[in-house]
Amino acid sequence: MKIIITVILYLANLEAFAFTTINCSHAELCKLVNLIARENKLSNLKTESLVNISGDPHEYEPSTLEIKNLMNAPLLITGPNELNPWIKKINSQRAKSANLKTISLLFNKDHLKAYPNASAEVLSHFWLYPKIYCSLKSQLEEDMKKNGFIITTKGTCDSKSIEEELQKVLSKIKTPIILTHDALLPLLLQLSPSTSITAIKGSGHHEETSSKSVKRMYDALKSPVAIWVIEAGINVPSNIKSKIRKNDITLTIDTANSKNENPFSVLTELTEKLKTQVPSKQ
Condensed to tens digits (0 to 9), the pLDDT of residues 146-205 reads 999 999 988 889 999 999 999 999 999 999 999 999 999 999 999 999 999 999 998 888
Predicted pLDDT of residue 6:
42
Q: Are 195 and 188 in contact (CB under 8 A)?
A: yes
The three-state secondary structure class of 158 is coil
Predicted pLDDT of residue 19:
59
The three-state secondary structure class of 224 is coil
Predicted pLDDT of residue 205:
80
Per-residue exposure over 81-112, b if at least 16 CB sit within 10 Å of its own CB, e if not: bbbbebbeebbeebeeeeebbbbbbebeeebe
Predicted TM-score (pTM) of the model is 0.89
Sites in the chain below the pLDDT cut of 50: 2-17, 282
Q: DSSP character for 76?
A: E
Predicted pLDDT of residue 173:
93
Predicted pLDDT of residue 9:
44
Predicted pLDDT of residue 58:
85
Predicted pLDDT of residue 165:
97
Predicted pLDDT of residue 181:
92
With residue 23 as reference, give the H or E element that holds it: strand 21-24
Predicted pLDDT of residue 219:
96
Q: Which residues touch 158 (CB under 8 Å, ≥6 apart)?
A: 130
Per-residue exposure over 188-210, b if at least 16 CB sit within 10 Å of its own CB, e if not: bbbbbeebbbbbbbbbbeeeebe
- Using the Cα atoms of residue 128, residue 132, residue 138 and residue 142 in order, give the sign of their dihedral: negative
- Rounded to whole angstroms, the Cα distance separating 276 from 250 reads 12
